[in-house]
Amino acid sequence: MHTCSNAFPPLTLMPMRYFLLVAVLLLAGCQDGTRPSAATAPPARPAALPGATTLDTTAIAPPDSATARLFADAMAHARSERLHTEPLGAIMQELGLHFRGRPYAAGLLDAPPAETLVVALDRYDCVTFVETMLAMARGVAAQDYDYATFARNLEALRYRGGVLDGYASRLHYFSDWIADNARRGHVVDLTERLGGDTLDKQLTFMTEHRDRYRHLADDDSLVRRIAAVEQDLADRDLHYIPQDRIRTVYDQLQAGDVIALATNIDGLDVSHTGLVYKADGQTGLLHASLTDGVIVSPDLQAYVQNIKNQIGIVVARPQG
């Protein structure tokens, strides 16, 4: 689960003691809230297919004018730089840099009263940033610059099996996000093969703190569905690379690799996400920061070590 999606309680529903925790934990992280977003209208539910770019695009609602302009600008940049000739991760990095400086926004996915495909290109939390860059890059790599393809790619990354089917279908825990997308060939989890240690914990934060989620607070059936997800995760092996060993794998990381920051908070797996940044001899983190919006933190290990409650990283490589 990730603090910048709805696995961690929204700021507006947190008691005062949690504000102090978040302020320290997420110096450059992300956190859910209830601010409105530039969301598209909900599309009709598609068939569940293994690859996002082959999904039916006929039911995607058109974007609002601001989102359409930002998407067109990004695609124009991709064409002018011939990004389709680059590896998928390098495309993600370049697209992420294109959006550098865009502000952080809390609660993008939880703002609508019912689960819908939220698309916001003018602001990000840490997970929507990762998802958006990968969804865009998959289209660019195929030289498919259509907005509907991008939106379907986004849906395929965000929801279990690639299908939006209510709140519980969203991949709230980031370990679940990685595992589900790995099954469908969108990413490969590299953490164990990079020498990662076992992350020995139970992921129970959402059900143990249901009162802090407006969608869960009064819906017992929804809580049972989230509990089933947590039980399934209990049977999986989780791994992380401890923070003092991150530099030892720098030479094995590639631009655009998905990075999740493992946390020692009870019931949580990770609390922040971003992309590996590789340039000019640096191995940093390209991410949506709580305080600075989309930025590059130039040294990945130093960044992790400077955030309280972080213990290391999880690494997943995007696949074309």
| The pLDDT value given to residue 30 | 54
The answer to whether the Cα torsion of 314, 109, 64, 45 is positive or negative is positive
Nearest to 300 by CA among 265, 236, 266, 257: 257
| The pLDDT value given to residue 39 | 33
| The pLDDT value given to residue 19 | 37
Q: Is residue 300 part of a domain?
A: yes
* Cβ atoms of 43 and 59 closer than 8 Å: yes
Q: Distance between CA 33 and CA 258 in Å, rounded?
A: 23
Number of domains the chain contains = 1
CA dihedral 24, 29, 35, 38 (to 10 degrees): 170
CATH number assigned to the domain comprising residue 86:
1.10.3670.10
List the structure tokens of 133. Answer: 């860059």
| The pLDDT value given to residue 107 | 84
| The pLDDT value given to residue 45 | 33
Q: Distance between CA 268 and CA 2 in Å, rounded?
A: 7
> Which segments in the chain show pLDDT lower than 70?
1-59
| The pLDDT value given to residue 212 | 83
User: Which residues constitute the domain of residue 169?
Assistant: 11-318
| The pLDDT value given to residue 59 | 65
Per-residue pLDDT tens for 231-240?
999 988 999 9
Q: Is residue 2 part of a domain?
A: no
Q: Is residue 92 part of a domain?
A: yes
| The pLDDT value given to residue 25 | 40
pTM: 0.85
Q: Is residue 3 part of a domain?
A: no
